[in-house]
Amino acid sequence: MENALFSYALRLGDDSLVLGQRLSEWCGHAPAVEVDLSLANIGLDLIGQAQLFLGYAGEVEGKGRSDDRLAFHRDVMAWTNCLMVEQPNGDFARTMARQFLFSTWQKALFDGLAASKDARLAEIAAKAVKEVTYHAELAGDWVIRLGDGTEESRRRMIDGLDWHWRFVEELFQADAVVETLVAEGVAVDPAGLRPGFDARVAAVLAEAGLPEMQLPRGVVGGRKGHHSEHLGHILAVMQHIPRTYPDAVW
C-alpha cells in the first residue's frame, strides 16, 4: 500500500486538530474559570499533537507540504479525522461525553503506538500519551460528576453520550492503511484496543450510575473523507485567513 504511513500520520493529526479546534470554541464561555482552564489545556495538547503528526506526515509524503499547508489548504474530502471529533460541542455534558470516549480510545491507541517500529510515531505517541492519560481521567471524572450530580445533569450526560455512541465503531475500524501498517509493526491493531475501552467505559458509567451503553449502528466514513455536515463549517472558519491571503506568512 503506497503512502500508508503518510495516511496514518495524517489521520492521527486530523483527529487531534479537529478536536483541538472544537475545544478552542469554548474558550471564554465555559461554566467556570477552572473549567475554561482545563478545556484550553486539553485543546492546546491536541493542537500540539497535530503539529507533530501533520509535520511528520508532510515529511513522509515528501512533497514539501508543512503542517500548516496540510491544516489550512485541504478541503473536506482530504480530511481523514474520525466523525466523533467534528461533532458540535453542544452543551458541556455533550462536550465531556465526546472527550471521555475519544480520549479513552486515544490513550489506548497511544499506549500501543509508543512501541511502534516507526521511531517517529513512537516518539510522538510516547510524549502524547502522558497528556492523553490526563484528558481521559479528567473527562471520566466529569462523566461521573454529571451522571451522579443532579437530575438535570444526569439527563444531559445521557443525551451527550447518546449523541456520540454511533461514532464509537469508527474508532475501531481497520482499513487497508491500518492493516498494512499493523503487518509492519508500525500501527496498532484497533480490534485489540476494544476490550480495554469497553471495560473502562463500563466502569465509569457504573460509577456515574448511568445505564449501560447499547451501541447503535455505527456511522462511519471519516477515514476516507466522507464526513458529517459539520466539518466543512469548521474548515471554513479555520482556513479563512490563509485561504484569503495565500501568499502571506504569519
By the criterion CB under 8 A, which residues form the site for other proteins?
A: 17, 21, 24-25, 27-37, 40-41, 43-44, 47-48, 50-51, 54, 67-68, 71-72, 91-93, 144-146, 148-150, 152-153, 156, 237-238, 240-242, 245, 247-250
Q: Which three cell numbers stand for residue 81?
A: 479525522
Phi, psi of 167 (to 5 degrees): -100, 5
Shortest distance, CB of residue 210 to other proteins, whole angstroms? 13
Shortest distance, CB of residue 42 to other proteins, whole angstroms? 11
Exposed (0-12), middle (13-18) or buried (19+): which is 231, by Cβ within 10 Å?
buried
Nearer to other proteins, 21 or 81 (CB): 21
Nearer to other proteins, 2 or 34 (CB): 34
Taking the mean position of all CA atoms in its chain, how far away is CA 142? 18
Nearer to other proteins, 91 or 170 (CB): 91
Shortest distance, CB of residue 66 to other proteins, whole angstroms? 9
Q: What's the rounded Cα separation, in Å, for the pair 68 and 1?
A: 26
Residues whose CB falls within 8 Å of the CB of residue 218, separated by 6 or more in sequence, listed in order: 166, 167, 168, 169, 170
Nearer to other proteins, 44 or 182 (CB): 44
Shortest distance, CB of residue 45 to other proteins, whole angstroms? 10
Nearer to other proteins, 71 or 178 (CB): 71
Shortest distance, CB of residue 156 to other proteins, whole angstroms? 7
Nearer to other proteins, 229 or 247 (CB): 247
Shortest distance, CB of residue 2 to other proteins, whole angstroms? 27
Shortest distance, CB of residue 31 to other proteins, whole angstroms? 2
The rounded radius of gyration (Å) of the Cα atoms in the chain is 18
Nearer to other proteins, 75 or 152 (CB): 152
